[in-house]
Amino acid sequence: MKTQVVIIGAGPSGLLLGQLLQRAGIENIILERQTPEYVLSRIRAGILESGTVSLLHQAGAGERLAREGLVHEGVEFLFNNQRIPVALSALTGGKTVTVYGQTEVTRDLMACRSRSGATTLYQAGEVTLHDVNSASPSVSCLYRGERVHITCDFIAGCDGFHGISRQAIPAHLRQEYERSYPFGWLGLLADTPPVNHELIYAHHPRGFVLCSQRSATRSRYYLQVPLSEDADAWSDSRFWQELRARLPPELCERLITGPSLEKSIAPLRSFVVEPMQYGRLYLVGDAAHIVPPTGAKGLNQACADVNYLWQILEKYYRQGREDLLSQYSALALRRVWKSERFSWFLTHLLHDFSSHTPFDNRIQEAERDYYLHSRAGQTTIAENYVGLPFEPVE
C-alpha cells in the first residue's frame, strides 16, 4: 500500500489530523491497535478551549458540538470555604470554554472519518516504523493475520503516552523531561445534575476536589487520593461521603448523588519529549507530552499540535514549503511548555502535598490568596485556562 501520511493511533490527535488532511486533499491511513469500541470506552476530560472548538469546526466535526456543547464564561475556585468566581470571558476579552466530553469529540471525528471513506485499520498489531530518517519512510503492521506494508511521505505518531512512535527517535537525540506527583485523581461519573453551573476547583486540607460536568444531567467529580488507593475500595457511598467532607455546607445541600457510571483512579504526571520530530516522523499529542489534568490541557494541547502539523503539511504539499518541515518541533514546543507550566502551576496551587513543610504550606496559602484575590492574578489564570493563542504558520 502507499499513501501520503501514515497516522499511528486513532485517539483524538490521530482522528483530527486525519480529518483536516483529508479535507485538504492529502491522503492518509490511520493504524489503531484497539477496536473503535475500546477507544470510545475511555473516559477523559471534557473542557474545550475556543481554539480547539474552531479546529473541530474546520475539520467538519463541529455540528453536534455546536448544538450540545455548553459554553462557560466563568469558573470557580474554592478554598477556606470561600468560593471565588473567575470571570473567564470578562478577563480575556470575550473568550470562553466549552463543556463537551472527549469521548464525544472522538465519536464525532470517527463518524466524519467513516463518511469521508478514508482508510482506518483498527486492531492493527505490531505496528513498526521503518526508514524514518529517509525520504521514503514506511510503516508495517499485522492486520487480519497478514503483514501489511505502507510506504508514505510522512509518519504522524499520534499513539499516546504508551505508544511506540516516540522510541523511533534515537535515544541519544531524545531528551525526556518528567515529573510525577505522589497522588492521583479518583473520578466518578454519574447521571445526576451538576452541583454548580460553573466548574469548581477546590483546595481542601483533606485534598483537592473538582466538581465538573458533561451536561445538565451528567456530573463528573474528582477527589485527590494517595497513589496507593485502589478504586475498588471506593464504594459510591464512600465517594459521596468524602466529597461532602471536602465541600462547604451550601454545596453539600445542593449535591445530588446517584449510582456511578464509571469510577477510576488516574495518576498525575508531567512529561515532555524533545524534539517532537525526527526525520519524517512527527509526534503529536500524548505521544510527545502529558500533563496533570488540573488545567484540562491534555486534549487541547494535542489539538494545538495538530493545528501546527496539518498546516505545515498542507503548505508543503500545496505551496512546496519544504522549509516549514523542520520547524514543527520548535513551534509546537513553545506552546507545549506553556501548557505544562500552567498545569503544573494549578496542580501545585490546589493540591495537598504531604511532602510540604509548614513553610511550604504557608507559601501555598499565600499564592492562592494572591492569585485569586488580585485582578492580575485572576487574569493570568483566565488567559491560560481559555487557551493561549496559536502562532501563525508562515
Q: Which partner, ligand APR, ligand PHB, none, binds residue 28 by CB below 5 to 8 Å per kind?
A: none
The nearer residue to ligand APR, 168 or 255, going by C-beta atoms, is 168
**Nearest partner of 204 among 189, 218, 224, judged by Cα:** 224
* Cβ contact 219:70 at 8 Å: no
Selected from 138, 212, 224, 270, the binder of ligand PHB by CB under 6 A is 212
How far is Cα 133 from Cα 125, in angstroms, rounded to an integer? Answer: 23
The nearer residue to ligand PHB, 33 or 214, going by C-beta atoms, is 214
The nearer residue to ligand APR, 120 or 378, going by C-beta atoms, is 120
Q: How far is the CB of 291 from ligand PHB (least distance, A)?
A: 10
Assess whether 259 carries a catalytic annotation: no
Q: Which partner, ligand APR, ligand PHB, none, binds residue 32 by CB below 5 to 8 Å per kind?
A: ligand APR
Q: Which partner, ligand APR, ligand PHB, none, binds residue 285 by CB below 5 to 8 Å per kind?
A: ligand APR
The nearer residue to ligand PHB, 201 or 240, going by C-beta atoms, is 201
- Give me the sheet containing 146-151, strands edge to edge: 125-130, 138-143, 146-151
Centroid of chain to Cα 127: 24
Q: Which partner, ligand PHB, ligand APR, none, binds residue 190 by CB below 5 to 8 Å per kind?
A: none
C-alpha cell at 364: 501555598
Q: How far is the CB of 150 from ligand APR (least distance, A)?
A: 13
Cell numbers 494517595: residue: 226
How far is Cα 344 from Cα 14, in angstroms, rounded to an integer? Answer: 26
Catalytic residue among 100, 181, 201, 328: 201
In sequence order, the 6+-apart residues with CB closer than 8 A to the CB of 248 are 78, 81, 83
Selected from 31, 39, 47, 152, the binder of ligand PHB by CB under 6 A is 47
Cell numbers 502562532: residue: 391
Helix or strand (DSSP H, E) at 226: strand 218-226
Distances (CA, A) of 132 to 128, 135, 161, 322: 10, 8, 19, 17
* Cβ contact 319:30 at 8 Å: no
Q: How far is the CB of 216 from ligand APR (least distance, A)?
A: 23
The nearer residue to ligand APR, 14 or 184, going by C-beta atoms, is 14
Q: Confirm or reject binding of residue 209 to ligand PHB (CB under 6 A).
A: no
Q: How far is the CB of 144 from ligand PHB (least distance, A)?
A: 35
How far is Cα 138 from Cα 228, in angstroms, rounded to an integer? Answer: 42
Centroid of chain to Cα 15: 14
Assess whether 293 carries a catalytic annotation: yes
Question: 179-208: string of b/e by CB count within 10 Å (b at 16+)?
Answer: eebebbbbbbbbebbbbbebbbbbbbeebb
Assess whether 100 carries a catalytic annotation: no
Q: Confirm or reject binding of residue 220 to ligand PHB (CB under 6 A).
A: yes
Interface with ligand PHB (CB under 6 A), residue total 10
The nearer residue to ligand APR, 17 or 247, going by C-beta atoms, is 17
How far is Cα 124 from Cα 150, in angstroms, rounded to an integer? Answer: 13
Catalytic residue among 181, 282, 293, 371: 293
Q: Confirm or reject binding of residue 45 to ligand PHB (CB under 6 A).
A: yes
Task: Map residues 241-280 to x or -, x wherever contact with ligand PHB holds by CB under 6 A.
Answer: ----------------------------------------
How far is Cα 195 from Cα 199, in angstroms, rounded to an integer? Answer: 9
Residue numbers of the site for ligand APR (CB under 6 A)? 8-14, 31-34, 39, 44-45, 102, 124, 127, 158-160, 162-164, 285-286, 298-299, 302
**Nearest partner of 58 among 23, 88, 84, 90, judged by Cα:** 23
Contacts with ligand PHB in 274-293 (CB under 6 A)? 293
The nearer residue to ligand PHB, 14 or 293, going by C-beta atoms, is 293
The residue number with the shortest CB distance to ligand APR is 11
Chain residues that interact with ligand PHB, rule: CB under 6 A: 45-47, 210, 212, 220, 293-296
Among all residues, which ones are annotated catalytic?
72, 201, 293, 297, 385
